[in-house]
C-alpha cells in the first residue's frame, strides 16, 4: 500500500501580497518563493476576511468562516470550540505525525502531536532579529526526523519576519534603502511617534533618532527578503530528502500588514486591502500543474478543504470553505466575489467587500478617531484613500443590507449569534465596549515588544 502524502504548510504572519515580487512588486523581495512557485499553482486573489492572527489561522486550519469558528478577536477567550475539527486533528486521526512550529498556545493550533518553539521576537547582539534562521534551526532537523519515519507527516510552521518588529539581519537592512534615516529635516514619522497607544512599542525597536518612514517600510521589505532567503533552505531540504513527489507544500499568510498608511502604523488592524490580500502557492510535482496562475476569488477557509481534497482524505465535515481543486483542474467554480469582513484587533469593526466597493462599519468607537462608516470605491480608488460614504448614501445602505442579510443567513445556518456581536471584551480589558474614541485611545496601549509577544501568545 502506498504511503499517504505529506503536507507542509508554511504560514507567514503579516505577509501582504502586494509586497511580493511574485505578485508584481517592483522590489525583488521573494526571488526564492517566486522560483519555487513556478513549479506549482499560484492564486492571485486570496483574501483573509477575518483579521487578525487568531481569527485568520482559525479559518485556515478549520476550513470555517468566523461564524463557523466563533473566533474573531486576537485576545480570544477560551479554546477553539469543540464543534470544529482542526486540520491537525483530521490528519492525526489518519495516522499522521503532526508538528507545529512557532504557534503553541493559540486556539487555532489545537490537535498537533508535537509543538516546537523558537525565538521570534527578541533581537540578537547586533540589534537585529534572525527570526527565520532560528525557525530553520529547529524546523529542518524536525523535517528530517519526520521524513525518515514510516508515518506520513503534517508540518506546520509559522514564520514571523514580516510581523513587527521589522529587524532583518545584514545585508537586508539597507537592501531597499539608501537614504538618511535620521535626517532631522524629515518629519514623516512624527505622526507615528505622536500616536500614544503604540509610541512606546515603536521606540522599543526603532533605531535611535529615526525620522524617515520610508526606512521602516524598507525594513519590512528587507525582512520579507531575508525570510525568503531562509525559506530556500526549507525548499532545499525537501529536495535533498527526495520527498518532493510525495509532499504537498502550501505557502500562505494569516493576513497582510499596514505600513505607514491609513493611520494604522506598522500593524495589521484596519480592514483595508493591504491587510486583507495575501499570497497562496500550492506545489506538488506530478499532482499540481506547474506555472499556473488562477485569478478567481478565494479565502483562507478554502485551504483546508483544498488540502484534504488533493490528499484524497474525506472527513465527515461540512466546511464553510470550498476546495480549489476544480479551479486547478481548469473547471469553473462559482466565485465568492463579495464577502463579510471583520476585525477585532485594536478596533471592533465589520464590513462588506465587493470587487467595486468596500464598506467598513464601526461596532464601537475606534482609537484612530475614524468615522463610524467608511466607503471606498476600489475601482477609482484602489488605495482606499477617499471615504465616499457621505457622497454615496445609497451605496452604503445597499451594501449594509447585503452584509446584514449575510449575517442573518449565517446565524440561521450555525444556530449561533455573530461573534462580532458577542466578543465585547476583545480589547483584553475588564470592561465593556468603548463609548468614545478618546476612551479607546486612552485605554489601549502596547508598551514594549514583550507586551506585544504576550498578546500573540495568550493562551486563554
Burial category of 373 from C-beta neighbours within 10 Å (exposed 0-12, middle 13-18, buried 19 and up): middle
Q: Where are the alpha helices (DSSP H) in 277-414?
A: 303-310, 325-328, 393-414
pLDDT tens-place string over residues 322-367: 999 999 999 988 899 999 999 999 999 999 999 999 999 999 999 9
Inter-residue contact 324 to 304 (CB < 8 Å): no
373-397: average pLDDT: 98
Residue 156: predicted pLDDT: 98
CA dihedral 200, 198, 125, 28 (to 10 degrees): -150
CA distance 162 to 53: 13
pLDDT for 144 beyond 80: yes
Q: How confident is the model at residue 80 (pLDDT cuts 50, 70, 90)?
A: confident
Residue 98: predicted pLDDT: 98
Residue 2: predicted pLDDT: 66
201-219: average pLDDT: 96
271-277: average pLDDT: 97
Q: What angle do CA 313, 136, 90 make, to 5 degrees?
A: 15
CA distance 144 to 237: 8
Strand-pair category, 50-51 with 348-353: unpaired
CATH of 6-328, one of 3.40.50.10190, 3.40.720.10, 3.30.390.50, 3.40.1170.10: 3.40.720.10
Q: What angle do CA 317, 323, 328 make, to 5 degrees?
A: 160
Q: What percent of the chain has pLDDT over 70?
A: 97
CA distances from 53 to 23, 50, 109, 190, 352 (A): 22, 9, 12, 28, 20
pLDDT for 455 beyond 60: no
418-430: average pLDDT: 92
Inter-residue contact 311 to 94 (CB < 8 Å): no
Residue 311: predicted pLDDT: 98
Q: What angle do CA 322, 326, 330 make, to 5 degrees?
A: 145
DSSP-assigned beta bridge partners for residue 247: 6
Cell digits for 378?
A: 476600489
Residue 456: predicted pLDDT: 61
Contacts of residue 67, defined as CB under 8 A and 6 or more positions apart, other chains included, come to 320, 410, 411, 413, 414, 416, 418, 419
pLDDT for 460 beyond 70: no
377-390: average pLDDT: 98
CA distance 323 to 269: 28
Q: What percent of the chain has pLDDT over 90?
A: 89
266-294: average pLDDT: 97
CA distances from 223 to 30, 130, 163, 193 (A): 10, 9, 9, 22
DSSP reduced 3-state for 73: strand
H/E stretch holding 43 reads strand 41-47
Q: How confident is the model at residue 151 (pLDDT cuts 50, 70, 90)?
A: very high
**How far from the centroid of its chain's Cα atoms is residue 314's Cα?**
26
What is the average pLDDT value for the chain, to the nearest integer?
95
CA dihedral 195, 201, 207, 208 (to 10 degrees): 70
Domain range summary for the chain, segments of one domain joined by +: 6-328, 339-457
Residue 5: predicted pLDDT: 98
DSSP label of 196: H
Residue 243: predicted pLDDT: 98
pLDDT for 457 beyond 70: no
pLDDT tens-place string over residues 285-302: 999 999 999 999 999 999
Does the domain at 339-457 match CATH 1.10.150.130? Answer given as: no
H/E stretch holding 10 reads strand 6-12
CA distance 381 to 262: 13
Whether 339-457 and 6-328 are alike in CATH topology: the answer is: no
pLDDT tens-place string over residues 37-79: 999 999 999 999 999 999 999 999 999 999 999 999 998 888 8
Q: How confident is the model at residue 143 (pLDDT cuts 50, 70, 90)?
A: very high
pLDDT for 459 beyond 50: no
pLDDT for 159 beyond 90: yes
Amino acid at each position: 500500500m502506498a504511503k499517504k502524502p505529506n503536507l507542509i504548510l508554511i504560514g507567514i504572519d503579516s505577509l501582504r501580497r502586494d509586497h511580493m515580487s511574485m505578485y508584481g512588486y517592483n522590489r525583488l523581495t521573494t526571488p526564492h518563493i517566486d522560483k519555487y512557485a513556478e513549479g506549482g499553482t499560484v492564486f492571485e486573489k486570496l483574501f483573509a476576511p477575518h483579521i487578525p492572527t487568531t481569527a485568520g489561522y482559525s479559518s485556515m486550519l478549520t476550513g470555517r468562516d468566523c461564524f463557523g469558528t466563533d473566533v474573531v478577536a486576537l485576545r480570544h477567550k477560551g479554546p477553539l470550540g469543540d464543534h470544529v475539527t482542526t486540520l491537525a486533528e483530521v490528519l492525526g486521526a489518519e495516522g499522521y505525525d503532526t508538528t507545529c512550529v512557532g504557534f503553541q498556545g493559540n486556539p487555532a493550533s489545537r490537535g498537533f502531536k508535537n509543538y516546537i518553539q523558537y525565538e521570534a521576537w527578541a533581537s540578537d547582539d547586533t540589534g537585529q532579529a534572525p527570526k527565520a534562521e532560528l525557525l530553520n534551526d529547529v524546523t529542518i532537523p524536525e523535517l528530517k526526523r519526520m521524513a525518515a519515519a514510516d508515518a506520513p507527516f503534517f508540518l506546520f510552521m509559522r514564520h514571523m519576519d514580516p510581523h513587527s518588529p521589522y529587524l532583518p539581519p545584514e545585508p537586508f537592512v539597507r537592501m531597499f534603502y539608501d537614504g538618511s534615516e535620521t535626517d532631522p529635516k524629515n518629519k514623516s514619522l512624527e505622526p507615528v511617534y505622536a500616536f500614544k497607544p503604540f509610541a512606546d512599542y515603536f521606540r522599543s525597536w526603532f533605531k535611535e533618532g529615526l525620522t524617515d518612514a520610508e526606512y521602516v517600510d524598507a525594513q519590512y521589505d528587507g525582512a520579507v527578503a531575508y525570510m525568503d532567503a531562509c525559506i530556500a533552505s526549507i525548499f532545499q531540504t525537501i529536495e535533498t530528502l527526495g520527498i518532493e513527489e510525495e509532499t504537498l507544500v502550501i505557502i500562505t499568510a494569516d493576513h497582510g500588514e499596514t505600513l505607514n498608511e491609513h493611520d494604522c502604523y506598522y500593524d495589521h488592524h484596519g480592514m483595508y486591502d493591504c491587510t486583507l490580500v495575501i499570497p497562496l502557492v500550492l506545489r506538488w510535482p506530478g499532482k499540481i500543474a506547474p506555472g499556473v496562475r488562477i485569478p478567481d476569488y478565494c479565502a483562507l477557509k478554502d485551504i483546508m478543504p483544498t488540502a484534504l481534497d488533493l490528499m484524497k482524505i474525506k472527513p465527515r465535515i461540512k466546511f464553510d470553505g470550498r476546495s480549489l481543486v476544480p479551479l486547478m483542474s481548469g473547471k469553473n467554480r462559482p466565485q465568492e466575489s463579495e464577502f463579510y469582513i471583520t476585525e477585532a484587533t485594536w478596533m471592533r469593526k465589520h464590513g462588506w467587500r465587493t470587487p467595486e466597493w468596500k464598506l467598513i462599519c464601526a461596532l464601537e468607537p475606534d482609537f484612530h478617531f475614524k468615522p463610524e462608516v467608511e466607503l471606498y470605491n476600489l475601482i477609482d480608488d484602489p488605495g482606499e484613500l477617499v471615504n465616499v460614504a457621505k457622497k454615496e448614501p445609497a451605496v452604503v445602505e445597499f451594501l449594509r443590507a447585503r452584509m446584514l442579510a449575510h449575517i442573518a443567513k449565517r446565524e440561521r445556518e450555525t444556530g449561533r449569534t455573530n461573534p462580532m456581536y458577542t466578543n465585547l471584551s476583545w480589547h483584553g480589558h475588564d470592561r465593556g465596549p468603548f463609548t468614545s474614541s478618546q476612551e479607546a485611545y486612552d485605554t489601549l496601549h502596547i508598551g514594549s515588544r514583550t507586551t506585544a509577544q504576550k498578546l500573540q501568545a495568550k493562551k486563554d
